[in-house]
Chains A and B, each alone.
Chain A
């Protein structure tokens, strides 16, 4: 007899659990990639247009900052429900992995953008000035000074964002996005099969630990210099 079965008698379809794992990883990977793709430029924009920065534009900064703050202050579960029509227009479904990605990205990108802004502010003003003195354009300063110099901070931000996204994907399970959160909610909570709860939580903990470890490694490598 399967030893796992004797340990978790209520779990009768391990294949379903495996698929849920894969769904969670797909949601995480897809949303993280898009979050970085949108949040990084948004963070650079926040940084550049901020007070007494390279391209200070108080009005643009004010508007961007407000939008970012609004998106960050809406609880993710509400954001997901509110965005359902938008999600439908964007990906043609409100459900599953695809339906989960737009709200995940819209929820996480502003958060990541703030982390990017903070990381860029850590770059010494003098290094930027040196690049300006060498005749660098703003674009060159962003690509060759700000982003490389801030890479330890940026990777730390990506790690924190990835872990926040794990939490969001689990929440998404409650309204039909699938994945481990869905299993925990449907079987573990609604059907009182606490084994599901235990196994999914353990898997999520392992996932978060892994992400943190990988993130810490990358940050440590870039911090050495």
Chain B
């Protein structure tokens, strides 16, 4: 996974950025100094609990929030150095969608989507109509053009939000808890739409969320935010399969309750070493485990397991105990086959 982005260009760069708010004469830190690169064409997730600073972080990108220090670059443009009119022009290159959609209640769906075009100075009604039609088609709302937002469901409102955000053909799409107000099914369909847009339009997506499942479904890389600090970041597979920080582990446990430490409590009654095996990609789909066990004559006892996907990457994670004299040799063969092994404390 990491190799996939090694040659990519950075589109968003944070350099020693920090942010604090002045409340009653005191500086309250919201984000500790951090540097971060977001790459061209990736879906980058920022996960954190409420109050961790993720809404502040995403708003730094289009400077809805100004940093207290540090520099923010989009491509070669230093956003933090721009005067107001130039900043407004830059913002048109960055679409944004919101948890509560933030549509104009007084305007129809079509007019909401046309709004950014008109703001950008487009006066040609035929051009606007054509673009709006194309966008509504793209998000599957062509037949709702004349409706008002109040007549739509949450999922439909977010689709209008997405169409609106894409109107000026931005290079970056910011998603501020875009699915947090939606039910699980609608969330899945909105995430599918975002993934398709990322694929087809090659646009970079930055999203913030408090749900690991959102990250798992569509993100390539993720940063974990805890109390204003980025405590962990990397490819989703690395962070998701081998969480290091306690906050990350909590998020993973929330996404996979059956893997949570508490679920392994009956472990005390089982003998042998407790191991967690992680399969990624092709190894997930081949019978490595049974072959190694058969050849080494080691017995295993399966405690917990899961086979799923992280974005397009299939993975498996099994928690098991091993008994037998040949255990070390078996583990060596498994490692050789590309399986990651962690010994769990018991």
Contacts and interface: CB of A to CB of B under 8 A. Distances in A.
A41 interface: no
Contacts of B329: none
Q: Is the interface of B mostly helix, strand, loop or mixed?
A: mixed
A222 B119 contact: no
A142 to B, nearest CB: 13
Contact of A135 (B88, B100, B103): B88
B312 to A, nearest CB: 30
A126 B98 contact: yes
A222 B106 contact: yes
Interface residues of A, number: 21
Contact of B88 (A124, A137, A151): A137
B344 interface: no
Interface in B90-145: 90-92, 94, 96, 98, 100, 102-107, 115-116, 118-120
Given A124-B102, A144-B115, A225 B148 contact: yes
Contact of B106 (A134, A140, A225): A225
Contacts of B118: 144
A127 interface: yes
B182 to A, nearest CB: 16
Given A126-B102, A144-B115, A133 B96 contact: yes
B141 to A, nearest CB: 17
Size category of the binding interface on chain B: 20 to 34
B282 interface: no
Nearest to B106: A148
Contacts of A134: 91-92, 96, 115-116, 119, 164, 168
A132 B64 contact: yes
Interface string A130-149: 11111111001000110011
A127 B103 contact: yes
A122 to B, nearest CB: 11
A155 to B, nearest CB: 12
A224 B147 CA distance: 12
B62 interface: yes
Contact of A225 (B105, B116, B120): B105
Given A126-B98, A144-B115, A133 B64 contact: yes
28 contacts: A124-B102, A127-B103, A127-B104, A129-B64, A129-B98, A130-B98, A130-B102, A130-B103, A131-B115, A132-B64, A133-B62, A133-B91, A133-B174, A134-B96, A135-B89, A135-B91, A135-B92, A135-B119, A137-B85, A140-B119, A144-B119, A145-B104, A149-B104, A149-B106, A151-B106, A222-B106, A224-B148, A225-B150
